Structure 1
Amino acid sequence: MKTTCKSLLLYVLIASVAVNAFDPFTATFVVGVGAALGRWIYEYSQEKCDSKWIAFNATGLETDLERRLFGQHIASRIILKAVTGFMKNDNPKKPLVLSLHGWTGTGKNFVSQMIAENIYKEGMESSFVHVFTSELHFPHPSQLETYKTQLQQWVKGNVTNCAQSMFIFDEMDKMHPGLIDSIKPYLDYYDKLDGVSYRKAIFIFLSNAGGESITQTALDFWSAGRDREEIELRDLEVALSLSVFNNKKSGLWHTSLIDKNLVDFFVPFLPLEHKHVVLCALAEMEAKGLQRNLDVADRVARDLVYFPKPERVFSVKGCKTIDSKLDYYT
């Protein structure tokens, strides 16, 4: 589409330059055609809240999770079922609310990006995808009440503009306790609030809270000689719940979202091993248009910090620094 628009714009420019070579009638006609084309290009390229710009690709999401997200068999399964079920429901009872937990670099932001890319034609660049980070948007504790009002207005305004809006809240563990409670009514089982329906919106919370308990479970399985793929959600649910519900730094501490069961899925992200980091490096090479090189990927992975120190089992930062380290090695 972008190539077509560029070609049409070039035609309009050429036509405009050549106007002086025509007689007055022809010149008027060319200018009129150019103006009409200009309006058409503008309207055609403007993102709208309709099926041309918003269309869920279930196969695309499944493929992305399988080929681009490494070491997260639990998260992949939950995300695919949750998002697919929600998007295929023409009349959901409430918005989809996902809470993603785990250490940095394990794929929480990456998964959010995948979801956006398989729903919105413009992906994360869509005007219907909104990202909040605590330190950027809510930096001052003394202004908590102001932030609550602003957040309510922002969510309401954007859902009014497009019912299928997505809101991503990053760094929930750094967010002021109770702030997210201000949008609780928008996540509940209401048909409409002040004439606005929030049922088709998606809310995603990203947090490092619970990362320690998730990692401890993974470490326990490794110490017992068990494969990480044996870890099931039930092995993590209790510890994760305690970490999120009872942690003042979780962003969800003492919120009515918990009491009212408004979070549909708590999704754990496991710590990554060396083999997963290697896969991240290979995928990043491919994304950069470089030839996949296993030796280089292995060197990049080995350069990261792992724990426990003697055994070097899990990457401290997951795949977070792969991009910059790959530039050094290539």
Structure 2
Amino acid sequence: MDGRKPTLKSSQKVSLLSSSVRTVIRLRRTTQVLKKGLPSRDSPSKVLQRQQSLGKVKAGNQASFQGSQYFTFDTSAQPPQSIKKKKKRPKNPRVLYPGCSRKYLPTEHKSKAKRCLLLLVGIICFQILNAIENLDDNVMKYELDGLEKTMRREVFGQALAVENVMGLLKDYLATHIHNKPLVISFHGPSGVGKSHIGWLLAKHFRSIIGHEMVLHYFTQHHCPEGVPAMSCQLELSKMVTEMVTQAEVEEKIPLFILDEVESMSPDLLDTLGGFFHTNQTNEFLNAIYVLISNFGAKEVTDVLLQNVTMDLLEAQRTTEHLRTILSPVLSQIHPLWTSAEIVPFVLLEKSHVRSCFYEEMMSEGIYPDPNHIERLVSQLGYYTKGELELAITGCKPVVGKVNLL
């Protein structure tokens, strides 16, 4: 040996380098196979050895975990399912529009059913207004407003009675079709204005619907004493039948004013009451009957003397009380009053009698001297109730005293 280091041949250097490169390449392929799960290109024997070694390592690890004194695992339990978290929706979401576009509200589609409904409502309202106008036209045909003014001007001390009569006439004359005739019965003491209102009614309706449509029946004149009751019945029945028949043809409502009903015989009252029934032909149902009598005069006087007042509300209550008292009394006289509208007339005050003298003297062309009128008023009798004086005979003696002047 000459002290030189041994040198490797070039073929040995290449073999050593190639073996190291092959090892690096093999390790890289193994790592790539493990990462990607792809089968490696190694020989089947090497792959089998590698799997056996991995199985031993896993078994050892599992045995160590199972034998641990600190941790125990229940292998039978299933792993918990993943809980899905609900996404929270933002409150009051807003619609964002692009900045370059216009904002339009959603269009509302109008329904045609609304138009039909509005049309139906309009038709119904028109029909109602038309019906009201027809009622007003029918009432205006009889000019009841003028009649009311005349009655309030010429009838003294009977404001409630006039109001009741006009209310009944307006309600009945609003239409031409009825299910029963209108029967109005005046009751009260003598001289309080019952016959005067009957005379005003007859005068007004004669000027409106004609003389042939108004019958002013005075019992003592049309059926005096000594005349057989049968003839009076036939005559009254004939007059009523002819009038209602003609009125039905002309589409008018006749007026029958029957004064002095207290002088009628029971048979004549039966004949009169037969016209008030509801089970009749149409022409007998469209009629107005006004009964004037002194029945119930005592009851009216007694109630008024016990409840004398100047209050209007109390006077209305007194009028209602009078109706409740008169109804059973009149029903005992004859059943025809069960179908009648009772209108009580109150006693007249001294001031009302003074007005009666003034009007009568003016109508006769006599100068109404106040001193002369006061002397005539003082000659009549009065009920004294406190400071109030109520005339016993009303205005009945006024005409006779004025005629003596």
Fold agreement, TM-score > 0.5: yes
Distance 1:325 1:55 in 2: 39
Q: Which has the higher contact order (CA 8 A, sep 6+)?
A: 1
Give CA-to-partner distance per residue, 1:174-217, whole Å, 9 cap, x none.
2112422213343233462xxx6123322111110111111111
Distance 1:85 1:150, change over 3 A: same
Give CA-to-partner distance per residue, 1:82-106, whole Å, 9 cap, x none.
1122222232322221110111111
**Aligned with 1:74: secondary structure?**
helix
Residue identity in the other structure for 1:98: I
Give CA-to-partner distance per residue, 1:92-151, whole Å, 9 cap, x none.
32222111011111111111122223322179x923322223333334588333432332
1:172 aligned to which of 261, 264, 289: 261
1:182 aligned to which of 249, 271, 283: 271
Whether the aligned pair in 2 keeps the contact of 1:306 and 1:312 (CA below 8 Å) is no
Residue 72 (structure 1) aligns with: 158
Distance 2:159 2:311 in 1: 9
**Aligned with 2:307: secondary structure?**
helix
Whether the aligned pair in 2 keeps the contact of 1:141 and 1:176 (CA below 8 Å) is no
Give CA-to-partner distance per residue, 1:150-170, whole Å, 9 cap, x none.
322221122223343222211
Distance 1:85 1:297, change over 3 A: farther
1:220 aligned to which of 296, 303, 306: 306
Distance 1:228 1:302 in 2: 26
Whether the aligned pair in 2 keeps the contact of 1:306 and 1:315 (CA below 8 Å) is yes
Distance 1:291 1:89 in 2: 46
Residue 25 (structure 1) aligns with: none
Residue 398 (structure 2) aligns with: 322
Distance 1:291 1:100 in 2: 33
Which runs of 5 or more residues in structure 1 are unaligned? 1-50, 247-252
Distance 2:186 2:230 in 1: 26
My pick for the range that moved more, 308-317 or 197-206, is 308-317
Distance 1:108 1:228 in 2: 23
Residue 11 (structure 1) aligns with: none
1:103 aligned to which of 170, 179, 189: 189
Distance 1:92 1:291, change over 3 A: farther
Q: How many residues align?
A: 260
Give CA-to-partner distance per residue, 1:278-302, whole Å, 9 cap, x none.
1111222333344544333322222
1:91 aligned to which of 171, 177, 185: 177
Identity %: 26
Query: What is the TM-score of this pair, normalised by structure 2?
Result: 0.57
Matches within 5 A, 1:10-25: none
Give the Å deviation of 1:305: 2.5
My pick for the range that moved more, 209-218 or 318-327, is 318-327
Give the Å deviation of 1:228: 6.5
Residue 130 (structure 1) aligns with: 215
Distance 1:235 1:183 in 2: 27
Which runs of 5 or more residues in structure 2 are unaligned? 1-136
Distance 1:242 1:278, change over 3 A: same
Distance 1:61 1:234, change over 3 A: same
Residue 315 (structure 2) aligns with: 231
**Aligned with 1:318: secondary structure?**
coil
Distance 2:402 2:268 in 1: 38
Distance 2:203 2:400 in 1: 24
Distance 1:279 1:61, change over 3 A: same
Considering only aligned residues, what root-mean-square deviation do their CA atoms show, in Å? 3.0
Distance 1:119 1:295 in 2: 38
Structure label with greater radius of gyration: 2
Query: What is the TM-score of this pair, normalised by structure 1?
Result: 0.69
1:254 aligned to which of 329, 334, 359: 334
Residue 278 in structure 1 maps to residue 362 in structure 2: no
